[in-house]
């Protein structure tokens, strides 16, 4: 579904991604883990068109989307739930969700379709259903995270990029968010997940990539990475026997 080859990206003259390659197969959850500043968010931004890559290619559904404007990539079926949530705080929960449907607005899409999508998004997140008329800025951090994810789903994406969904959340809310990631995948949406919580991410994923200083350093089945001594020591906070 998504193939990245030799991707380079920079902020000004400072190169941050030094040629990364990864593959996200259709119907799978793939996670990208790594320490702070490794370049995970930059990778997501370069995929969704928020940052123009300096080199390499991004193929989405067999189509070359490298360097395309983000609204065109969104229209092609890719949704990005960014780090830090970025909800429209002075708008209601419901209006935030309706805006999420925007990439799929076409002459053939009727109001009824959007109401159906809204109903499904609210089923997935009952908390949002109760709060649909509340201003998004007054939601708790966990509720705002749910809103960012639900808004991304309103575009009916084929691929969802989820950047740090558990950031700053209480453990009970983290568990709920990861359950929803599994629910989303069960509905057939392919997911690329960036997470600080490497253990939960690898438990939720089919495959994983480890990133360090702008390079992919390891790749494999998620349960293999979960049991790999180097991953356990560096990213899961476990001291391993020599
Ligand atoms: P974290 O887990 O801490 O969010 P990350 O792996 O997502 O880290 P990035 O946010 O992609 O890392 O950052 C990679 C590098 O790029 C860092 O050194 C960071 O300081 C730098 N960087 C990120 N955004 C910008 C920006 N807008 N301008 C300049 N440098 C940036």
- Of 43, 22, 5, the closest CA to residue 195 belongs to 43
Residues 6+ apart with CB under 8 A from 154: 97, 98, 99, 100, 101, 114, 117, 118, 121
Q: Going by CA atoms, what residue is nearest to atom 9 of ligand 1?
A: 39
Check residue 242 and give its pLDDT: 53
- Of 125, 181, 191, 123, the closest CA to residue 157 belongs to 191
By DSSP bridging, strand 55-60 and strand 29-34 are unpaired
CA of 11 to the centre of ligand 1 (A): 9
- Of 154, 152, 149, 159, the closest CA to residue 58 belongs to 159
- How far is it, in rounded angstroms, from Cα 233 to Cα 39? 20
Q: What is the DSSP code string of 96-129?
A: HHHHHTGGG--TT--HHHHHHHHHHHHHH-HHHH
| Structure-block tokens of residue 27 | 């119907």
Domain boundaries, the chain: 28-38+77-235
Q: Going by CA atoms, what residue is nearest to atom 4 of ligand 1?
A: 36
- Of 156, 223, 222, 221, the closest CA to residue 190 belongs to 156
Check residue 97 and give its pLDDT: 94
Check residue 48 and give its pLDDT: 95
Check residue 169 and give its pLDDT: 83
- How far is it, in rounded angstroms, from Cα 32 to Cα 34? 7
Q: Going by CA atoms, what residue is nearest to atom 17 of ligand 1?
A: 37
Find tokens 């065109």 and name the residue. Answer: 72
Check residue 104 and give its pLDDT: 67
- What CATH number belongs to 28-38+77-235? 3.40.50.300
Q: Is the CB of 214 under 6 A from ligand 1?
A: no
Which ligand 1 atom minimizes the distance to the CA of 194? 7
Check residue 236 and give its pLDDT: 85
Contact 207, 51 (CB under 8 A): no
Check residue 108 and give its pLDDT: 60
Q: Which of 13, 20, 31, 41 to mutate to test the pocket of ligand 1 (most atoms within 8 A of CB)?
A: 41
Q: pLDDT per position in the chain (242 positions), as tens?
A: 999 999 999 999 999 999 999 999 999 999 999 988 999 999 999 999 999 999 999 999 999 999 999 989 998 999 998 877 788 999 999 999 998 887 766 656 566 678 888 998 888 888 899 999 999 999 988 889 889 999 998 988 999 999 999 888 888 888 888 988 988 898 899 999 999 899 999 999 999 999 999 999 999 999 999 999 999 988 887 665 55
Check residue 114 and give its pLDDT: 82
Q: Is the CB of 144 under 6 A from ligand 1?
A: no
Q: Is the CB of 16 under 6 A from ligand 1?
A: yes
Which ligand 1 atom minimizes the distance to the CA of 211? 6
Check residue 211 and give its pLDDT: 96
Q: Which of 9, 12, 15, 16 to mutate to test the pocket of ligand 1 (most atoms within 8 A of CB)?
A: 16
CA of 88 to the centre of ligand 1 (A): 23
Check residue 170 and give its pLDDT: 83
By DSSP bridging, strand 29-34 and strand 2-11 are unpaired
Check residue 111 and give its pLDDT: 67
pTM, 2 dp:
0.91
By DSSP bridging, strand 63-64 and strand 55-60 are antiparallel
> Please, what sign has the CA dihedral across residues 196, 197, 198, 201?
negative
Q: Is the CB of 38 under 6 A from ligand 1?
A: yes
Q: Is the CB of 9 under 6 A from ligand 1?
A: no
CA of 39 to the centre of ligand 1 (A): 6
CA dihedral 25→26→27→31, nearest 10 degrees, is 40
**Sheet with 55-60, side-by-side order of all strands:** 14-24, 2-11, 55-60, 63-64
Check residue 73 and give its pLDDT: 93
Q: Is the CB of 126 under 6 A from ligand 1?
A: no
Q: How far from each other are the two terminal CA atoms of the chain, in whole angstroms?
A: 39
């Amino acid at each position: 579904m998504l193939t990245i080859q030799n991707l380079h990206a920079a902020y000004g003259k400072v190169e941050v991604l030094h040629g990364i390659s990864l593959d996200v197969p259709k119907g799978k959850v793939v996670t990208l883990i790594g320490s702070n500043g490794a370049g995970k968010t930059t990778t997501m931004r370069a995929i969704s068109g928020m940052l123009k890559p300096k080199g390499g290619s991004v193929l989405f559904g067999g189509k070359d989307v490298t360097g395309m404007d983000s609204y065109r990539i969104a229209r092609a079926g890719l949704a990005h739930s960014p780090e830090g949530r970025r909800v429209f705080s002075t708008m209601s929960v419901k209006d935030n969700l309706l805006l999420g449907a925007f990439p799929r607005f076409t002459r053939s899409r009727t109001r009824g379709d959007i109401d159906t999508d809204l109903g499904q998004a609210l089923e997935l997140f009952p908390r949002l259903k109760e709060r649909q008329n509340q201003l998004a800025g007054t939601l708790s951090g966990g509720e705002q995270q749910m809103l960012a994810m639900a808004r991304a789903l309103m575009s009916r994406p084929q691929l969802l990029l989820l950047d740090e969904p558990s950031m700053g959340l209480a453990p009970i809310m983290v568990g709920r968010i990861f359950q929803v990631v599994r629910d989303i995948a069960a509905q057939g949406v392919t997911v690329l997940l960036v997470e600080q919580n490497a253990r939960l991410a690898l438990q939720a994923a089919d495959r994983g990539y480890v990133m360090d200083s702008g390079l992919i350093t390891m790749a494999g089945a998620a349960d293999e990475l979960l049991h790999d001594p180097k991953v356990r020591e560096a990213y899961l906070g476990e001291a391993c026997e020599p």
